[in-house]
Amino acid sequence: MKLIQLPTQAFEERLKQEIEENPALDIGKDQSDSFDEDLSNEFDETGTEKIEAEDINIDEYLSDDEIPNYKTQANNYSADDEEKNIPYAAGTSFHQSLKNQLNTFRLNEEEFAIAEFLVGSIDDSGYIRREIIDLVDDLAFTANVFTTEEKVISVLKKAVHNLDPLGVGARDLKECLTIQLKAKDKTKIRSLAIDILETAFDHFVKKHYNKLQEKFHISKEELKEVNVEISKLNPKPGSSYAGNNKIAEQIVPDFSVKIIDGELDLTLNSRNAPELHVSSEYNNMLKGYKESNIKTKSQKDAVFFIKQKLDAAKWFIDAIKQRQQTLLVTMNTIMHYQYDYFLTGDERKLKPMILKDIADKINMDISTVSRVANSKYVATPYGTKLIKEFFSESMKNDQGEDVSTREIKKILETVIAEENKKKPLTDEKLAGILKEKGYPIARRTVAKYREQLDLPVARLRKEI
């Protein structure tokens, strides 16, 4: 069950760990010696030996008279396949880049220590989220620098706020945007934008445009220019850094669905189907013991050790085989359940589907299906998708038919995208439109779906 829930990359790490810990396991396609026979349990429940070394049938572990079962399983791997891994350059990290820039400022020893500490407190978005008083305490306890809030704020404005990218080290969004505006050449609109951010930030973020026009005695056109100027700024300066210290994550699809001659074709990523066998060194050790005329105590101990490792290897290979079968059976059932979607890519054709629907069809526990769906990806002609996205609850339309909530969300998203942004639709009006389209749902349900789609309320969708 633990192996099933691992996505491809994590599974490869687990496989690597097992190979490192169990020298009897080896991976590759060029090994002829392998083991396949059922291994008799030669130890009792407490692990106590029940037989003598001479009684171990070495041939059971060295059998090469037939191809092992696990090698006959389709692994979707061809000798011509290329491993196309994307390389990532190990550049300078975000924080290291900021620290390097500090060397260009004229700072005394204390100021440099404070500036370096402040840079270390910047999060990945480029903000300092902690209170200045807390930073003062930390400087004293961890860096042995005793200073004041005023001094820390002075260094923050003098050095950190002038680092590239502009806006890093800000304590909130207002300060971040203001820093960027003040660094630009002064114009009437930019000065007005700074004034609005510093004195009427709440009105601006809540899009109370009429109040802003009254407060600053400006026209709608001037306010529109201010809006355009501010929209050019970066609200998360840290994320714009190309050498960000985040690990570049590459999604490796666990499955691939293709359309071949109008039919769906499912394959399991070959990296999920490794070829494992007994290491040649272990084979040679067993052969040496079998052919030896004199059995020493050290040789007997070695045979018992090898036997334990081979048992563990056999178990691990069986577990991997079960993992492959479970993944394929589950995904194949999901693919056929959502056949119309995989054939067309139209999300409106996604049928209502819950974990129990799939679990019942494959006669497995719901938790097993959940483990397969939760962290696995499938490459489709329409992009790489997270499998759990194909699951959704059902609702009845005005004709009494079960429809997927995903279908309703897609229609809701389309309606909001096509609305007049000067007069965005309220949740009440959205509910009315959906009702007209045959989906009678309540306003609060519309609000819930809108939030799940990460779409703001009507007032915050308003444009000038």
Asked if the structure places residue 183 within a domain, the reply is yes
Beta carbons within 10 angstroms of residue 75's beta carbon:
19
**Is residue 99 located within the same domain as residue 231?**
yes
Tokens of 42: 């030669």
Long-range contacts of 143-150 (CB under 8 A, 24+ apart): 143/113, 143/117, 145/110, 145/113, 145/114, 145/117, 147/110, 147/114
Residues 349 and 304 in one domain: yes
32 CB contacts (<8 Å, ≥6 apart)? 64
Same domain, 182 and 104: yes
Say yes or no: 272 and 345 in one domain. Answer: yes
Of 185, 206, 240, the last residue of a domain is 240
For the chain, what is the domain count? Answer: 3
In the prediction, which pLDDT does 29 show?
53
At 176 the pLDDT is 93
CA–CA gap between residue 171 and residue 173 (Å, rounded): 7
DSSP letter for 103, please.
T
> Is 409 among the domain residues?
yes
What is the reported pLDDT for 350? 82
**pTM beyond cutoff 0.85:** no
**Cβ pair 379, 256 in contact under 8 A:** yes
Domain range for 172:
94-240
Contacts (Cβ under 8 Å, ≥6 apart) of 245: 93, 94, 95, 96, 124
- With respect to residue 446, please indicate whether it lies within any of the assigned structural domains: yes
Torsion, Cα of 34, 38, 42, 45 (10° steps): 120
Please report the pLDDT score of residue 9 as a whole number.
79
> Do 155 and 204 have their domain in common?
yes
| Other CB atoms within 10 Å distance of the CB of residue 106 | 8
Is 88 inside a domain boundary?
no
Q: Is 14 among the domain residues?
A: yes
261 and 207 in a common domain = no
Are residues 104 and 235 both part of a single domain? yes
Residue 264 parent element (H or E): strand 263-268
pLDDT at 244: 46
CATH number of the domain at 421, please. Answer: 1.10.10.60
Nearest to 19 by CA among 324, 270, 312, 301: 312
DSSP label at 239? G
285 and 365 share a domain?
Answer: yes
Nearest to 392 by CA among 415, 367, 358: 358
* H/E stretch holding 412: helix 405-417
The SS3 call for residue 296 is coil
Please state, in angstroms and as integers, the Cα–Cα distance from residue 407 to each residue in 103, 302, 399, 404, 413, following that order. 55, 62, 15, 5, 10
DSSP string, 375-389: S-EEEETTEEEEGGG
pLDDT at 115: 92
In a domain? residue 83: no
The segments of the chain whose pLDDT lies below 50 read 30-55, 63-90, 242-248
Task: Tell whether 365 is covered by a domain.
Answer: yes
The structure tokens listed for 264 are 């769906």
Residues 46 and 112 both lie in one domain: no
The answer on 380 and 407 residing in a single domain is no
Do 387 and 400 fall into the same domain? no
Report the C-alpha gap between 265 and 342 in whole angstroms. Answer: 10
Provide the token pair at 185.
Answer: 């050449």
> Is the separation of the CB atoms in 11 and 272 below 8 Å?
yes
pLDDT score recorded for residue 132: 92
Question: 106 phi and psi, to 5 degrees?
Answer: -90, 95
SS3 at position 267: strand
Neighbours of 76 (CB within 10 A): 17
Length reported for the chain: 464
pLDDT given at position 319: 85
- Same domain? 202 vs 108: yes
Residues 12 and 403: their CA atoms lie apart, in Å, by: 38
CA-to-CA distance for 379 and 382, rounded, in angstroms? 8
> Where are the strands (E) in 297-421, listed by range?
377-380, 383-386, 394-396, 402-404
Residue that terminates a domain, selected from 391, 419, 443: 391
123, 238 Cβ separation under 8 angstroms: yes
For residue 201, the one-letter residue type is F
Boundary of a domain, candidates 206, 240, 274: 240
Angle at CA of residue 425, ends 424 and 428, nearest 5°: 155
List alpha helices for 143-276, DSSP H.
Answer: 149-158, 173-182, 188-199, 201-205, 209-216, 220-231
Query: Is the residue at 85 inside a domain?
Result: no
Six token digits for residue 232: 């050019």
Cα 61–Cα 67–Cα 72 angle in degrees, nearest 5: 125
